[in-house]
Amino acid sequence: METRQRKKHSIDKAGEERDSAGDSPSDELSAPEPHPPAVQRDDTPEILKEALKDLPPKWKNWWIRGFFTIFMLLGFLLLVWGGPFAFMLIIIAIQVKCFHEIITIGHQFYRSYDLPWFRTLSWYFLVCSNYFFYGETRAEMFSNLMDYKFVSILLKYHRLISFTLYLIGFMLFVLSLVKKRYRLQFFMFGWTHVTLLIIVSQSHLIMTNLLDGMVWLLVPVSMVICNDSMAYITGFFFGRTPLIKLSPKKTWEGFIGGGIFTVLLGWIFAGYLSQYKFLVCPTEIRANFQVYTDCELPSTFLPAEYEIPLFVQVFLKLVGLQMTTFTAIPFQLHCLAIGMFSSIIAPFGGFFASGFKRAFKVKDFGDVIPGHGGMMDRFDCQFLVATFVFVYMSAFIRVPTPNKILPTIFAMKTEDQLWLFERLRTHLNQEI
């Protein structure tokens, strides 16, 4: 009996030591007690309350979404008029807002644990990651500004500065660790870094696509907007068959209808925009930060003749059409691939976001856009499509350009630059 009591006492004591060391799973990562359900409130904007007061909830939501969709489209057209710099600013603003919405969900869900410095360090890591990504990939934009000593130093020691800034945040996180909260703090540390990976890395890919020509941003963004809008409209009127449990309101009818309209819009929109130089030419920032978007139209945006596959020719003959070739702009063919991705794969970005919201029992990421939710609710699919466009262009479109090589050459020693110049001159003489 005494032996058994001693064992029980030692087990209890070991458990107390584990709790005091912060290794016990109790209270860590467990969800706080759910709040009692709130009374449902009317979220109709004041500007529309009087006009929509007699409508049932389904149609009220329809008109709210429609009104603010038109409002966002007008803002999108205003950005096109503003040019690349306007898009750069709005991309950064959207990135910051999306990051804020996701971090806020984590903070609100675990705020009862009073984690020190969580939000402060999250924002600090956002600044560090933006400095690294944009400095790493946008250096070629500022090659014409190398005469400015400050810019030259920032570009030359960019990676060292980025690493130093991150180390400072890393040390501050270690210093903020609190007894009995270790596991939760490391969980939130991972939360912040995964959010940075999703938001910052993909928003910088959007910026990269933009600088290769605004059309590489306009068409994919328009496709996602079209797919989302037409899937909602066709699902609203014709939807009967549920698509996925994560999003009960999504239907197969809406999914298919949205896909058809998206591919058609991509083809038409791509052909129309290909004629405008300021949309298809890469963005170049010259001295005094002047934006330059002029070039000879690349072959990607000039009409070309293509041979129709034999099995398609046979099918066309059956319907009375004698065609062996067709003329199209290569960009339109590229947009067929982007349209298919936007219709079939991109919606899974929305399903992923729906699963995330269900896991934390929130309806939307925010309420900044009435009828649509938060900024992340609108851009969950956009980030995925932007990544696909970047990868697609890297595989089929992009080629090395002087602007990407110049920063490396400028950073070389003078004698190395002269050696490179002589080798290049010898090569060109042989070619001529």
DSSP code per residue over 231-268: HHHHHHHH--SEEETTEEEEEHHHHHHHHHHHHHHHHH
Domain that residue 404 falls in: 400-432
DSSP 363: S
Q: Is residue 53 part of a domain?
A: no
Residue 22 lies in a domain: no
The span from the CA of 197 to the CA of 129, in Å, is 9
Please check whether residues 67 and 197 belong to one and the same domain. Answer: yes
Q: Say yes or no: 118 and 150 in one domain.
A: yes
368 and 97 Cβ atoms separated by less than 8 Å? yes
Does 327 share its domain with 412?
A: no
The answer to whether residues 67 and 133 belong to one domain is yes
- Report yes or no on 13 lying in a domain: no
Same domain, 157 and 191: yes
What would the two tokens of residue 31 be?
A: 């969800």
- 144 and 199 share one domain: yes
Tens-digit pLDDT string for the chain (432 aa):
444 455 444 444 444 444 444 444 444 455 444 444 444 455 666 556 656 666 777 677 777 777 777 888 888 888 888 888 888 889 999 999 999 999 888 877 776 567 778 888 999 999 999 999 887 766 555 555 555 566 667 777 888 999 999 999 999 999 999 888 888 889 889 989 999 988 998 888 998 898 888 999 999 999 998 898 899 889 888 888 988 888 888 889 999 999 999 999 999 999 999 988 888 988 776 655 666 677 888 888 999 999 888 888 888 888 888 888 889 999 999 999 999 999 999 999 888 988 888 888 888 888 777 767 788 888 888 899 999 999 999 888 876 666 667 767 777 888 888 998 888 888 888 876
Are 102 and 376 a contacting pair, CB within 8 Å? yes
205 assigned to some structural domain: yes
CA–CA gap between residue 349 and residue 376 (Å, rounded):
11
Q: How far is CA 173 from CA 54, 124, 167, 194, in A?
A: 53, 11, 10, 16
Q: Is there a single domain that holds both residue 108 and residue 206?
A: yes
* pTM score of the predicted model: 0.78
Q: Note the pLDDT of residue 172.
A: 94
- d(Cα 71, Cα 297) in Å, to the nearest integer? 33
52 within a domain of the structure (yes/no): no
Beta strands in 213-309, from DSSP E residues, in sequence order: 242-244, 247-251, 284-286, 290-292, 304-307
- Do residues 413 and 354 share a domain? no
Encode pLDDT of 129-143 as tens digits: 999 988 776 655 555
Looking up tokens 């698509």 gives 243
Residues 281 and 319 in one domain: yes
CB atoms within 10 A of CB 175: 9
Please give the structure tokens belonging to residue 62: 């329809």
Does 19 map to a domain? no
Residue 6 lies in a domain: no
Domain membership of residue 247 (yes or no) is yes
CB neighbours of residue 381 within 10 Å:
23
Which stretch of DSSP H or E encloses residue 325? strand 325-328
| Number of structural domains the chain divides into | 2
For residues 394 and 422, state if they share a domain.
Answer: no
Question: Can you spell out the DSSP letters for 36-58?
Answer: PPPPP-----HHHHHHHTTS-HH
Q: Verify that 243 and 366 share a domain, yes or no.
A: yes
In this prediction, residue 26 carries a pLDDT of 43
Same domain as 161, residue 293: yes
User: With contact defined as beta carbons under 8 Å apart, do 96 and 122 qualify?
Assistant: no
